[in-house]
Amino acid sequence: MTSQERAALDAPSLDRTLVRIAHEIREQHKDSAALALVGIRTRGVYLAERLQKKLLEITGTEIPLGTLDITMYRDDLSEVGPNPEVRETKLPFDLKQKVIILVDDVLYTGRTIRAALDALNDYGRPKMIQLAVLVDRGHRELPIRADYVGKNIPTSVKERVIIRIKEVDGRDEAVITGGKGA
Amino acid sequence: MNKLNGQSVKNLLIRGARIIDPVNKLDEVMDLHVQSRKIVKWGKNLQVGDAETMEAKGLCLMPGLIDLHVHFRDPGYEHKETIESGAQAAIAGGFVACVTMPNTKPACDNAQVVKYQMERANVLNFNLWPSGALTQGREGKKVSEMAEMKAAGAVAVTDDGNWVVDSGVARRAYEYAATYGLPIMTHAEDPTISLNGVMNEGIVSTRLGLRGRPNASEDIATARDIELTRLIKCHLHVQHVSTRGAVDMIRRAKAEGLPVTAEVTPHHLALTDEEFVKYDTFDKMNPPLRTEADRQAIIKGLEDGTIDAIATDHAPHAFEEKDLDIEVAPFGTTGLESAFGVVMTELYHGRKWKIEDVLRKLSIAPSEILKKTNFGRLKAGEHANFILADIDKEWVFEQKNIYSKSVNSCFFGKKLKGKVLHTFVKGFQYTL
Amino acid sequence: MTTASKVLWTRKDLLGLKDLSVGEIELILDTAKSFSEVSQRDVKKSPALRGKTVVNLFLEPSTRTRVSFELAEKRLSADAIGMASGGSSMTKGESLWDTIANIEALKVDIIVMRHGSSGAPHRVSNYTRCGIVNAGDGINEHPTQGLLDIFTLREIKGKIKGLKVVFVGDILHSRVARSNVWGLTKLGAEVVLCGPKTLIPWGIEELGVKVVHDVKKAIDDADAVTLLRIQMERQNETLFPSIREYASTFGLNTALFKRAKPDAILMHPGPVNRGVEIEGALADSPQSYILKQVTNGIAVRMAVLYLLSGALKNE
């Protein structure tokens, strides 16, 4: 965390939050056999992996895990600039009859989730899709809401919410930057 | 289209020009007097009563340039060039006389076409010297009517572009030409080797994925023609030499005393096959631009006297014809308007040639090859055929400098140093 | 997952592998890997080029490449239109530039172009805002074929660097061989070209490849062998005496292929002349990846179209 950043979640509370979400998922879906986790690239993938571990501890079953790259489905592809890198999507299970828990780090405008829903549709027709996010910072531009929210953090549009994940960034934390005078 | 209008010179005193005429051993600042289109005299501080005067301080007055190799396409391909537009291009480049190639339609293989071309040029007050075809229809089979063509004014014979593949026919044709003292101009290239190549065969053609024409096609043809010359003792003039092998063979032939002369083009001495990277059809010519080693050999050949003259091979083609893909577009670049600038840039400025040597290649040697002793020098009592040039003027060659009917020049965008500002042809003054 | 490429794609055209950097080639290959998954889904479609129009201008006969491009375009949700020489006004003497200007006036985004003349797409690219994909120009390049060959090789071998890759056949007239030579040498493969001297371009060794005329020596310890199609009409150009002699001296059979490494793979850009450049049984063997190449072609072409469409957005 640098001097301009304000802490929102530290490492222990980030972990506790994921434990809580795992429990909430467990409560809503007694039949874990139908469950599947799908992380949205990049950080959603690692959050989904962690949720998978926590759910294994709680339920004793390994929930199938997939990764989703939504680049091709973004609605800003026609904006200026080179196209972003497309990476692999891996869904090593049949989507039919599955309850998909889509996992992402921050829920903001909702456009990423819209793209993810479109992408999932092209792979098959799940029974249900739910959304789990670590942070909901508001400012939705589409009628989308999360089913599991780690923490609601009211922000201004000028601010940015940064989630750091040990696997990518070397440590776990959620911080807010910018805003006042920035 | 650009057009130059000539003024018939009545009584003009050109003052303070640096008059350079190697034949007359002149190189000093003097005045020159032209009256009734003819040179009267030159000298220091000439006093001519009522003559109009022209200040030419800083300019070089030199014998007009002579091009041994142009395509004026007239008759038959007037959409590419006419004798009139060709003459305009020549005058714009400082050329006062041109040898036209016979690949017209019909081919210039008889006295009628020779007469037509000369009459047309006479009306235009231009010195046009037709070459006639070596064989009928330029087909490489039957010898053409050279005696009649010579009588009509043809200065040489050639099947330019269609090298006579059959050595037996070539032998007879060369012998026949020698009977009438006509120089044989040869585009030495064996088409069975060149095939459908569009550029020089070498590492650049391999890199660009284009079919090539190897040096061997020119070398083989040059060798045969030199051997026929040894046999017949005809005057062989090798056109647009482009390979180091051909330069070497010509050097040896001359050392043996064979009657061989040779020319190169400005583009072969200035450019290489690397030009082709843009797949620009304006760089597609035949012989093709070769490698740097060939270019250096050509320059060396010019400097040691192996190669006598520089000739443009001015080959106009309509834009629509050139604006096709590289396989289909015709061969050739125009060259009259850019030649002086290119030669001055490359050789006078670039290699520190003397100005006399430039004149030797562009004017004196051509006049000697054709035995036109009124040209390549200043001659009192003869028509004014000279140029006034600023040999240090820097300019960029652009489409606006074109007076030809066609714009297919490989030199567009090139920075040049040295420019002709006035051309006097048959006593008419053209100002650029 | 392959490592993320750091390179950004900024070219509006793909004209050849000659012009590309190692980073750009790897970016296409990595992107293709992501797109190869699209063809395995229930819905074999992505919306990445939705609303974009692609014209397939094939001025030389082609079935395989054209179909592959069309599928790639459709799987990216682009609107694809085909124009072949027979069906267009080109045969009526319209110049290529007029055709391109007309296509551009139809507000097309990308032109996939095959032309019989080397360099035609390079020149066209200067005339138009549209992105140009070279689908084969004369004997110069066929970049998407080269990329799909390299993609297939990398998929199976896990790398390109240090592999011995052999091409046997008519190298002189092969734009496929040229694109492969540019790409493979950049990526560090050892490239060996094999054929009679009449079918090898002048001085090609200077591009960093080895030329071997003995097919046995060429194939020894190879990791991959690509056979190039022999065009029957070439025997009239005195490039080789007869199909029979060509097949017996340069044709690949099972015994000969045993000289390559045990896990060597066999490739062919198609269409295959069975019994001429390759023994039929070998073409169908498990070591033959000819059909895998065809499948991979779609992913590679999707990747190219996707990357180009990104660079074209600044209009």
ipTM value: 0.91
**8 A C-beta contact, residue B264 and residue B297:** no
**A6-74+87-178 topology per CATH:** Rossmann fold (3.40.50)
Q: Does C294 touch chain A (CB under 8 A)?
A: no
Residue contact A81–C1, C-beta within 8 A: no
The question of whether B323 is a catalytic residue gets the answer no
Indicate whether B298 pLDDT > 50. Answer: yes
CATH superfamily assigned to domain C143-294: Aspartate/ornithine carbamoyltransferase (3.40.50.1370)
Reference B92, options B322, B414, B400; nearest CA is B400
Which pLDDT tens digit goes with each residue over A40-83? 988 999 999 999 999 999 999 999 999 999 998 988 887 767 88
Residue B157: φ, ψ to 5°: -125, 145
Has residue C314 got a pLDDT over 90? no
Q: Which residues of B touch C122 (CB under 8 A)?
A: 278-279
DSSP notation for C189-230:
-EEEEES-GGGS-TTGGGGT-EEES-HHHHHTT-SEEEE-PP
Q: What's the confidence (pLDDT) of residue C5?
A: 47
Q: Tell whether C39 lies on the interface with A, counting CB pairs under 8 A.
A: no
Cβ-Cβ contacts under 8 Å, C207 against chain B: 206-207
pLDDT tens across C259-286, in order?
A: 999 999 999 998 899 989 999 999 999 9
In the prediction, which pLDDT does A182 show? 40
Residues of B in contact with C203 (CB under 8 A): 202-203, 206
Strand order in the sheet with C110-115: C79-84, C53-58, C110-115, C131-137
Whether A121 and C43 lie within 8 Å, measured CB to CB: yes
The residue type at C156: I
Residue-wise pLDDT for C12-38, tens only, equals: 999 999 999 999 999 999 999 999 988
CA distance B119 to B114: 9
Please tell me if residue C249 touches chain B, with a CB cutoff of 8 Å: no
Contacts of B324 (CB under 8 A, 6+ apart): B281, C95, C96
Report pTM: 0.90
Closest CA to C160 of C175, C180, C179: C180
SS3 state at C17: coil
| Cβ-based neighbours of C291, under 8 Å, separated by 6 or more | none
Q: What is the mean pLDDT of residues B32-54?
A: 95
For chains B and C, having 3+ Cβ pairs within 8 Å is answered yes
Residue whose structure tokens are 């100002």 = B431
CB-based contact B82:B73 (threshold 8 Å): yes
The angle at the Cα of C46, spanning C44 to C51, to the nearest 5 degrees, equals 125
Helix (H, G, I), strand (E, B) or coil at C113: strand
Q: If you search the block for the tokens 């562009």, which residue do you land on?
A: B362
pLDDT, mean of residues C140-163: 98
Does the CB of A69 have a partner CB in chain C at under 8 Å? yes
pLDDT at residue A85, rounded to an integer: 85
pLDDT exceeds cutoff 50 at B66: yes
* Residue A115 vs residues A76, A128, B119: alpha-carbon distances, Å: 10, 16, 80
Distance (Å, whole) CA B362 – CA B356? 10
Q: Chain A residue closest to C12 (CA)?
A: A82
Query: In this predicted structure, what is the pLDDT of residue C1?
Result: 37
CA distance B19 to chain C (A): 47
User: Residue B328 is nearest to which of C117, C206, C207, comparing CB atoms?
Assistant: C117
Angle of helix C143-157 relative to helix C64-75, nearest 10 degrees? 70
What percent of chain B has a predicted confidence (pLDDT) above 90? 97
pLDDT of residue C97: 83
- Which subunits sit against B, judged by 3+ Cβ pairs under 8 A? C
Cis peptide before B183 (omega within 30 of 0): no
Residue C313 pLDDT more than 90? Answer: no
Three-state SS for A98-153 is CEEEEEEEEECCCHHHHHHHHHHHHHCCCCEEEEEEEEECCCCCCCCCCCEEEEEC
pLDDT interval class at B255 (50, 70, 90): very high
Question: What does the pLDDT read at residue A42?
Answer: 87
Strand, helix or coil at C60?
A: coil
Task: Identify the DSSP state of A34.
Answer: G
> β-strand C224-227 against C164-168: which pairing, if any?
parallel
Catalytic choice (B159, B313, B323, B392) = B313
pLDDT at C91 over 80: no
Are residues A127 and A94 in contact, defined by beta-carbon separation less than 8 angstroms? no
State mean pLDDT over B366-379: 97
Q: Which CATH number fits domain C22-142+296-314: 3.40.50.1370, 3.40.630.30, 3.30.70.100, 3.40.50.920?
A: 3.40.50.1370
Interface touch C31/A124, C-beta < 8 Å: no
Task: Domains for chain B: give ranges and CATH numbers.
Answer: 7-61+382-431 (2.30.40.10), 64-369 (3.20.20.140)
Q: Which residues of C touch A90 (CB under 8 A)?
A: 37
Q: Name the residue facing C202 among B201, B320, B325 (closest C-beta).
A: B201
Average pLDDT over residues B50-66: 97
Nearest CA in chain A to C8: A82
Three-state SS at A171: coil
Mean pLDDT, residues B165-181 taken together: 98
Cα of C138 to nearest chain B Cα, Å: 8
Question: With an 8 Å Cβ cutoff, is C123 touching chain B?
Answer: yes
The reply to whether A117 touches chain C by the CB within 8 Å rule is no
The CA R_g of chain B, rounded to the nearest whole Å, is 21
Q: Which residues in chain B have their CB less than 8 angstroms from residue C119's CB?
A: 208-210, 279, 325-326
Quick one: what percent of chain A has pLDDT higher than 70? 96
Looking at the predicted structure, is the pLDDT value of residue B193 above 50?
yes
Which chain C residue's Cα is nearest to B277? C119
pLDDT at position A1 is: 59
Strand partners, A51: none
**Residue whose tokens read 């589409």:** A142
Average pLDDT over residues B333-338: 98
Which residue from B204, B240, B251 is spatially nearest to B339, judged by alpha carbons? B240
Chain C residues whose CB is inside 8 A of the B324 CB are: 95-96
Interface subset of C 39-78, CB within 8 angstroms of B? none
Residues in chain A closer than 8 A to C311 (CB atoms): 82-83
Q: How many CB pairs under 8 A join B and C?
A: 66
Name the A residues in 1-60 with CB < 8 Å from any C CB: none
- Touch test A–B: 3 Cβ pairs or more under 8 Å: no
Touching partners of A (3+ C-beta pairs < 8 Å) = C
* Alpha-carbon gap: A82 to the closest alpha carbon of chain C (Å): 4
C153 touches chain A (CB under 8 A): no
Q: Which residue has the higher pLDDT, C221 or C126?
A: C221
CB-based contact C95 B320, cutoff 8 Å: yes
Mean pLDDT of the residues in chain B: 97
Chains touching chain C through at least 3 C-beta pairs below 8 angstroms are: A, B
φ, ψ of residue B430 to 5 degrees: the values are -120, 130
- For chain A, the residue count is 182
Answer yes or no: are the C-beta atoms of C128 and C261 closer than 8 Å.
no
Query: Is the Cβ pair B324, C122 closer than 8 Å?
Result: no
Find the residue in A nearest to C10 (Cα): A82
Among B219-233, C118-132, C235-249, which range has the highest average pLDDT?
Answer: B219-233
Annotated domain spans of chain C? 22-142+296-314, 143-294
Residues in chain A within 8 Å Cβ distance of C4: 85, 87
Scanning C12-31 for CB atoms below 8 A from A yields 27, 30-31
C37 contacts on A by Cβ (under 8 Å): 88-90
For residues B276 and B282, give the distance between their C-alpha atoms in angstroms, rounded to a whole number.
9
Beta-sheet strand order (sheet of B236-238): B65-70, B95-100, B127-132, B156-157, B184-186, B236-238, B260-264, B309-310
C116 has a chain B CB within 8 A of its CB: yes
Closest to B325 (Cβ–Cβ): which among C115, C178, C204? C115
Alpha-carbon span C283 to C272, nearest angstrom: 8
Considering only CB atoms, C4 lies closest to which of A72, A85, A89, namely A85
pLDDT band at A87 (very low <50, low <70, confident <90, very high): confident
Run of H or E including C56: strand C53-58
Chain A contact set for C76 (CB, 8 A) = 72
Inform me whether the C-beta atom of residue A92 falls under 8 Å from chain C C-beta atoms: no
